């Protein structure tokens, strides 16, 4: 079944809303399990942060986006008075309660409804529901790794997150980086080795921007790995064997 195109401003979401919400719950629960009893551990993917900092961050993130979704706000909410940080024994429960509230708010919302987001290309509830999975998945990996555990992200979720990352989180014509990034002066492709999913990255029409298409151009060097590893590479969590992709090209990206 093909997911309904909830927003026409970006490429079609590849999963259904229920899939995103289940993944959001599962990754938050997994993060909570990995954080329990390990709150003071350092998190390599977030330099200077402890597991406690990651949990506090997600508590605030869930509260922020639940507020926007519930009120269909067209601007960021005024900063609330900062509540006292939960005690260590209450921290995990607060995280899970906040995730549960966010999921319920998203379940009740029309995902087509316009709201404020930080992404210039997409201002609707579907952006929130989709991006929160990425936020939870990456930080779940961070916290699991801080505990010495290995976590492989589910291929469909990871591939969708790659697609979203390349749509809204890189310098593009709609949202160019300031200052402009170096030109790629080349092209490369990302291809999932464990499922369908490929993307080609080339220079965009404006200086320092990129254009992304949803196929692997055979004329471009290809970085092939599992969807999980490709997403983690994009987030600078893991290093990969670049194969035929020149390191200088990957570095400019």
- What pLDDT does 33 receive? 98
Whether residue 91 lies inside any domain: the answer is yes
Whether residue 163 lies inside any domain: the answer is no
**Strand ranges in 25-176 using DSSP code E only, listed in sequence order:** none
**Are residues 60 and 147 part of one domain?**
yes
**Are residues 138 and 80 part of one domain?**
yes
**Are residues 143 and 35 part of one domain?**
yes
Q: How far apart are CA 117 and CA 114, in angstroms?
A: 9
Whether residue 21 lies inside any domain: the answer is yes
- What pLDDT does 83 receive? 66
- What pLDDT does 5 receive? 36
Last residue of a domain, one of 88, 119, 151: 151
Whether residue 28 lies inside any domain: the answer is yes
Whether residue 37 lies inside any domain: the answer is yes
Q: Check which CATH number belongs to the domain holding 67 and give it.
A: 1.20.120.450
Q: What is the pTM of this model?
A: 0.91
pLDDT digits (tens, 9 = 90+) for 84-101: 778 888 999 999 999 999
**Are residues 213 and 93 part of one domain?**
no
What residues make up the domain containing 187? 174-252
**Are residues 208 and 119 part of one domain?**
no
- 90, 52 in Cβ contact below 8 A? no
Look at residue 32 and give its three-state secondary structure.
Answer: helix
Q: Which helix (H) or strand (E) is 251 found in, with range? A: helix 247-252
- What pLDDT does 7 receive? 37
**Are residues 147 and 66 part of one domain?**
yes
Whether residue 156 lies inside any domain: the answer is no
**Are residues 122 and 192 part of one domain?**
no
- What pLDDT does 179 receive? 78
Whether residue 169 lies inside any domain: the answer is no
Helix axes 51-71, 17-35, angle to 10 degrees: 150
**Are residues 214 and 89 part of one domain?**
no
For the chain, what is the domain count? 2
**Are residues 110 and 180 part of one domain?**
no
**Are residues 209 and 89 part of one domain?**
no
Name the stretches of the chain with pLDDT < 70.
1-12, 80-83
Within 10 angstroms of residue 5's Cβ, the number of other Cβ atoms is 13
**Are residues 134 and 234 part of one domain?**
no
Whether residue 227 lies inside any domain: the answer is yes
**Are residues 90 and 137 part of one domain?**
yes
């Amino acid at each position: 079944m093909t997911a309904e195109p909830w927003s026409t401003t970006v490429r079609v979401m590849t999963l259904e809303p229920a899939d995103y919400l289940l993944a959001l719950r599962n990754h938050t629960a997994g993060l909570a399990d990995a954080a329990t009893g390990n709150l003071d551990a350092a998190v390599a993917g977030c330099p200077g942060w402890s597991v406690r900092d990651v949990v506090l961050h997600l508590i605030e993130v869930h509260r922020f986006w639940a507020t926007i979704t519930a009120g269909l706000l067209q601007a960021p909410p005024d900063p609330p008075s900062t509540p006292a940080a939960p005690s260590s024994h209450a921290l995990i429960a607060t995280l899970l309660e906040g995730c549960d509230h966010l999921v319920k708010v998203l379940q009740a919302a029309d995902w087509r409804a316009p709201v404020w987001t930080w992404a210039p290309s997409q201002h609707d509830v579907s952006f929130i529901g989709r991006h929160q999975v990425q936020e939870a998945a990456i930080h779940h990996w961070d916290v699991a790794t801080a505990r010495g555990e290995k976590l492989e992200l589910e291929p469909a979720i990871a591939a969708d997150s790659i697609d979203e990352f390349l749509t809204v989180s890189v310098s593009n014509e709609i949202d160019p980086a300031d200052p402009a990034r170096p030109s790629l002066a080349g092209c490369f492709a990302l291809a999932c080795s464990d499922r369908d999913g490929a993307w080609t990255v080339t220079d965009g029409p404006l200086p320092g921007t990129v254009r992304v298409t949803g196929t692997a151009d055979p004329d471009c060097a290809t970085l092939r790995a599992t969807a999980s590893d490709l997403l983690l590479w994009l987030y600078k969590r893991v290093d990969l064997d670049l194969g035929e992709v020149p390191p200088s090209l990957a570095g400019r990206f």
